Amino acid sequence: MRARTLLLVVPALCGLVLLGGCLKRTNPVAARDAAAPSQTPEAVVGVLRVAVPGWIDRPQVTERTSTGQIHANEFARWGEPVTKGVQRVVAENLAALLPTRRIVMAPLSPNQVVHYRVDIAFSEAGRQADGSVLVDARWALLGPGGVTLVQRRSSHRAHPTAAGPEGAVTGVNEAIAELSREIADAVRALPLPRAANEPTAR
């Protein structure tokens, strides 16, 4: 099982507006990290909608210049809304990393039993002036009643070799994969619920 990655549209390069464009997709969470999902999950983990700054939450792929300004690439656009795409990638990464847990995404059904929730707010996610890609986020694991069980700030930097938007997207995927591994480790450290019918975390 491998996690998917953020999608990119590059009409200037491909001549067609297609999800994924003509760029090669990477699989940051490799098969070595994944296992077959459990038929009887030990716990249900919900990934809430992620929060990102306005300069990231836009159709164009953005990067920082040497002066710290934001540059938007009009010829390279995300293949899906950024917040939805990041939420999906994190959820799929966690599903690969935590095969004994069931991973679900918000919006959640009122009848959905969720033991723990992942809340992520990004402050940075893009290529920097030195060519690296930085992902910086605050995240928390919430228990029943919205009680904060774990709260951290994480920074992950990737150094993709490809230039342009392809390298930027590859770097973001790699950095989010590392963030997902950190979150997965924290989930593993949480106590398992005593019964499958334990009340939903709110």
pTM, 2 dp:
0.80
Position 134 pLDDT exceeds 60: yes
Burial-class residue 147 by CB neighbours within 10 Å (0-12, 13-18, 19+). Answer: exposed
Position 149 pLDDT exceeds 90: yes
Give CA–CA dist 126/6, Å, rounded. Answer: 13
Mean pLDDT of 156-161: 93
Mean pLDDT of 42-67: 92
pLDDT digits (tens, 9 = 90+) for 169-179: 899 999 999 99
- CA atoms within 13 A of residue 151's CA, in its CB half-sphere: 6
Domain ranges of the chain: 8-189
The DSSP result for 161-192, as a single string, is SS-HHHHHHHHHHHHHHHHHHHHHHHHHHSPP
pLDDT digits (tens, 9 = 90+) for 33-48: 555 555 688 999 999 9
Amino acid letter for position 152: R
Q: How is residue 159 written in tokens?
A: 């150094």
The rounded percent of the chain whose pLDDT value lies above 70 is 77
Position 102 pLDDT exceeds 80: yes
- The top-level CATH class assigned to 8-189 is alpha beta
3-state secondary structure of 12: helix
Q: Are 53 and 135 in contact (CB under 8 A)?
A: no
**Residue 26: CB partners within 8 Å, gap ≥ 6?**
5, 170, 173, 174
Average pLDDT of every residue of the chain: 82
